[in-house]
């Protein structure tokens, strides 16, 4: 079997087209979805990510705005602003761009965001919901991987899946989401010995380790 490249940009365009249609339907009921993005500090990468998210909102008709704060903002001030957004009926989603400055209590920030506005899926309820199937929002990167597999009609049930990378943002939720679809999942990480003995058995191999050239051709099963 020759390798096939999945066109993620094409799928993203289709998803955004569907989102735009749903936004128009909500508009018929006088509802405009609103996203609040909080950006702390002047990190270049974070600014780029936020800019792309705001642009994506514009493309589908979602109202969005960015609260920008200096890197020395206090925990109390940041949490107070999140509470205000929780209470704002015109704000349906709250996204705090990570990473945050070292003095900010990230766990407390994520815990303060209302569960039903936690579009990143990082609140403890949403993380725990991945285990029980009751999550409100799933973390977006693993969700995107599932959508890619579904778009190609790649079966997940009963497949051997190896996830390389055990982060809270990608690796762990990825494994839980695939387990929920009845895959048999192994999680590998930086301390896994002889990584190839796992990857070579994978029908589906998901790599989110942040290490270029970690996976070599001979480590991948034919037809995976």
* Catalytic residue IDs: 53, 97, 120
H or E element, residue 155: none
Q: How many helices (H) and strands (E) does the chain have?
A: 8, 6
Q: Which two tokens stand for residue 63?
A: 């109202």
| CA angle, residues 195, 204, 197, in degrees to nearest 5 | 20
Q: How far is CA 113 from CA 47, 126, 210, in A?
A: 21, 11, 28
Angle between helices 124-132 and 171-179 (to 10 degrees): 30
Is there a contact between 39 and 69 (Cβ–Cβ < 8 Å)? yes
Is there a contact between 202 and 162 (Cβ–Cβ < 8 Å)? yes
Residue keyed to tokens 């514009």:
58
Please give the order of strands across the beta sheet that includes 63-69: 63-69, 34-40, 93-96
Measured over the CA atoms of residue 190, residue 193, residue 197 and residue 201, the dihedral's sign is negative
């Amino acid at each position: 079997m020759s390798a096939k490249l999945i066109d993620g940009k094409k799928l993203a365009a289709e998803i955004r087209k569907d989102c735009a249609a749903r936004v128009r339907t909500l508009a018929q009921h006088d509802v405009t979805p609103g996203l609040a993005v909080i950006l702390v500090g002047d990190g270049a990468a974070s600014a780029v990510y936020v800019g792309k998210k705001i642009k994506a909102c514009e493309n589908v008709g979602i109202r969005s705005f960015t609260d920008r704060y200096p890197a020395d903002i206090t925990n109390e001030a940041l949490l107070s602003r999140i509470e205000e957004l929780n209470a704002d009926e015109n704000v349906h989603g709250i996204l705090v761009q990570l990473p945050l400055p070292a003095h900010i209590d990230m766990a407390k920030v994520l815990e303060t965001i209302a569960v039903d506005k936690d579009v990143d899926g990082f609140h403890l309820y949403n993380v725990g919901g991945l285990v029980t199937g009751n999550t409100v929002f799933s973390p977006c990167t693993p969700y995107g991987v599932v959508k890619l597999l579904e778009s190609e009609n790649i079966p997940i049930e009963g497949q051997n899946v190896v996830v390389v990378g055990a982060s809270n943002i990608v690796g762990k939720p990825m494994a839980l989401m695939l387990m929920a679809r009845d895959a048999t999942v192994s999680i590998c990480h930086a301390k896994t010995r002889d990584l190839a003995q796992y990857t070579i058995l994978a029908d589906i191999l998901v790599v989110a380790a942040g290490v270029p050239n970690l996976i070599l051709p001979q480590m991948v099963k034919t037809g995976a």
